[in-house]
Amino acid sequence: MSEKPMPLWEVFVRARNGTAHRHCGSVHAPDAEMALQAARDLFTRRGEGVSLWVVPSSAIVASDPAEKDMLFEPTASKIYRHPTFYEIPEEVGHM
Amino acid sequence: MYTQALNTRDLQPVQKEDPERLARFQAKIDAEQKIEPNDWMPEAYRRTLIRQIAQHAHSEIVGMLPEGNWITRAPSLRRKATLLAKVQDEAGHGLYLYAAAETLGVSREELVDQLLAGTAKYSSIFNYPTLTWADIGAIGWLVDGAAIMNQVPLQRCSYGPYARAMVRICKEESFHQRQGYEIMLTLCRGTLEQKAMAQDALDRFWWPALMMFGPSDKDSVHTAQAMAWKIKRFTNDELRQKFVDATVPQAHYLGLTIPDPDLRFNEATGHWEFGEIDWQEFQEVLRGNGPCNRQRMKQRRQAHTEGAWVREAAAAYAEKRKARAAAA
């Protein structure tokens, strides 16, 4: 008989000030404080970060892969959202 | 080590999959696109990965036992600190891998139960004892060396979470092999007795290290599907050959002799040819009859049982604090 599952946390590490926290994995821990300690032991043993976030995995709302095309595909045809779509004469210089 | 699970047969009934979805799935893999947790995947792919990743995780965890055996007896503070760091890394690797397996819809608790019940396996190599300090050198050099051969291609595995875990693991693993080789080098430059100890460790770990790559290609029929799914990138024999080619010159540099009278360099192919592996020994170890199988399982079960109160206390403390916060 399995033990009661320990809550899962997603771990985000800021490598150094000036960069964003990046997702690097998950840990199990009974509460937030222990999740931080576990994340520190697991993901920052070699100077990988200066700041940690832990977020309950259950709090993350994800988009459905089945809706990927509906959500993201329409942008492919909207190339006018990119600067290279517009023609500016060379004489104008960098813009 | 660590792909031995891919050599075993999937005993579950084959589920009928929608051929159109199956074709789209395979096309994605053929195009080198990664599969992510919420994407559709055939049940057999999911099961194969769970079994493979879990066995890999179990190997990391059980792998702490033979090395942990020497932490208190390491010959210097430097060696003790590095061995401690290495064993801690193995625990971390186990945790990355359990988390990767969990993205496929299985819980870590279930996987641990399977290990403790003996229904899930771990790498055959950890059923050999570490009798002398030189064995710690041999394990780092040979066992981690063989693991790296296996794990480097796993970084390109088609399943995203497994591939990402392998990237982290490979980064950390190269320190392991170097610390092992350095131990061997120190022993080989030491007294005659110390060099003899290094030779003895090589003698005992050479063949088990070669067995880590699993059965010969002619006997492993189950790898074809794993290759088509790009879980596995090279066959067992290909990886084994790479390992031998890389390791033989390293042994020569140490002034040690590989315990294989058939070992010879083939000028034409540029490869080291080696003798036949004792497959009966390999099968016996897989069946649970290796030198340390029972001891390893006993130690794992004991650690799990004796640690139960810690997990219970941590959960009770978290509950208490939650209740207090709610009442305030």
Strand partners, A27: A9
Domain boundaries of chain A, sorted by first residue: 8-92
Q: What does the block give as tokens for B270?
A: 């540029």
B170 to chain A, any CB pair closer than 8 A? The answer is no
B108 to chain A, any CB pair closer than 8 A? The answer is yes
What's the pLDDT tens digit per position in A24-60? 999 999 999 999 999 999 999 999 999 999 999 999 9
DSSP state of A88: -
Looking at this protein, which amino acid is placed at residue B67? E
Looking at this protein, which amino acid is placed at residue A54? V
Instruction: Please give the biggest Cα pair distance in chain A.
Output: 76
CA angle in degrees (0–180, nearest 5) for B292-B210-B274: 140
> Could you tell me how many residues make up chain B?
328
B113 to chain A, any CB pair closer than 8 A? The answer is yes
Q: What does the block give as tokens for B89?
A: 């890394």
A4 to chain B, any CB pair closer than 8 A? The answer is yes
**3 state SS of A24:** strand
Cα dihedral value B291, B297, B300, B302, nearest 10: -110
> In terms of Cα–Cα distance, which of B249, B274, B273 is closest to B260?
B274
DSSP state of A45: T
Low-confidence stretches of chain B (pLDDT beneath 70): 1-15, 221
Count CB neighbours of B2 within 10 A.
Answer: 29
The predicted structure's pLDDT at residue A5: 86
DSSP state of A18: T
Q: How far is CA B258 from CA B211, B261, B269, in A?
A: 15, 8, 20
**Closest CB to B311 among A2, A3, A41:** A3
Chain A interface disruption, residue of B35, B61, B87, B102, most A CBs within 10 A = B102
Q: Do B317 and A31 touch (CB under 8 A)?
A: yes
What's the pLDDT tens digit per position in B72-119? 999 999 999 999 999 999 999 999 999 999 999 999 999 999 999 999
Chain B residue numbers with beta carbons less than 8 Å from the beta carbon of A27 are: 95, 99
The predicted structure's pLDDT at residue B14: 67
Q: What does the block give as tokens for B71?
A: 């932490």
Closest residue of chain B to A41, computed from CA coordinates: B92
**3 state SS of A12:** strand
**3 state SS of A25:** strand
DSSP-based helix, strand, coil % in chain A, nearest 5 = 40, 20, 40
Q: Do A5 and B165 touch (CB under 8 A)?
A: no
Closest residue of chain B to A6, computed from CA coordinates: B315
Chain A residue numbers with beta carbons less than 8 Å from the beta carbon of B317 are: 30-31
Chain B residue numbers with beta carbons less than 8 Å from the beta carbon of A25 are: 96, 99, 164-165, 168
The class (CATH top level) of A8-92 is: alpha beta
Closest residue of chain B to A38, computed from CA coordinates: B92
Q: Half-sphere exposure (CA, 13 Å, Cβ side) for B28?
A: 18
The predicted structure's pLDDT at residue B4: 67
Residues 85-104 of B with CB under 8 A from A: 85, 88-89, 92, 95-96, 99, 102
DSSP state of A75: G
Kindly report the three-state secondary structure assignment for every residue of chain B.
CCCHHHHCCCCCCCCCCCHHHHHHHHHHHHCCCCECCCCCCCHHHHHHHHHHHHHHHHHHHHCHHHHHCCHHHCCCHHHHHHHHHHHHHHHHHHHHHHHHHHCCCCCHHHHHHHHHHCCCCCCHHHHCCCCCHHHHHHHHHHHHHHHHHHHHHHCCCCEHHHHHHHHHHHHHHHHHHHHHHHHHHHHHCCCHHHHHHHHHHHHHHHHHHHHCCCCCHHHCCCHHHHHHCCCCCCCHHHHHHHHHHHHHHHHHHHCCCCCCCCCEEECCCCEEECCCCCHHHHHHHHHHHCCCHHHHHHHHHHHHHHCHHHHHHHHHHHHHHHHHHHHC
Residues 6+ apart with CB under 8 A from B186: B137, B194
ipTM of this model? 0.86
Rounded to whole angstroms, the Cα distance separating B212 from B217 reads 13
Residues 6+ apart with CB under 8 A from A61: none
For tokens 């320990």, the residue is: A6
**Closest CB to A65 among B38, B108, B164:** B38
Q: H-type helices in chain A, by residue range? A: 32-43, 68-72
What's the pLDDT tens digit per position in A49-88? 999 999 999 999 999 888 888 999 888 889 999 999 999 9
The shortest C-alpha distance from B96 to chain A (Å) reads 7
The predicted structure's pLDDT at residue B125: 96
> In terms of Cα–Cα distance, which of B200, B185, B214, B55 is closest to B130?
B200
Q: Do B314 and A5 touch (CB under 8 A)?
A: no
**3 state SS of A4:** coil
Q: Do B92 and A41 touch (CB under 8 A)?
A: yes
Residue A6 contacts residue A36 (beta carbons within 8 Å): no
The shortest C-alpha distance from A31 to chain B (Å) reads 6
Q: Do A65 and B40 touch (CB under 8 A)?
A: yes
Q: What does the block give as tokens for B198?
A: 């290094």
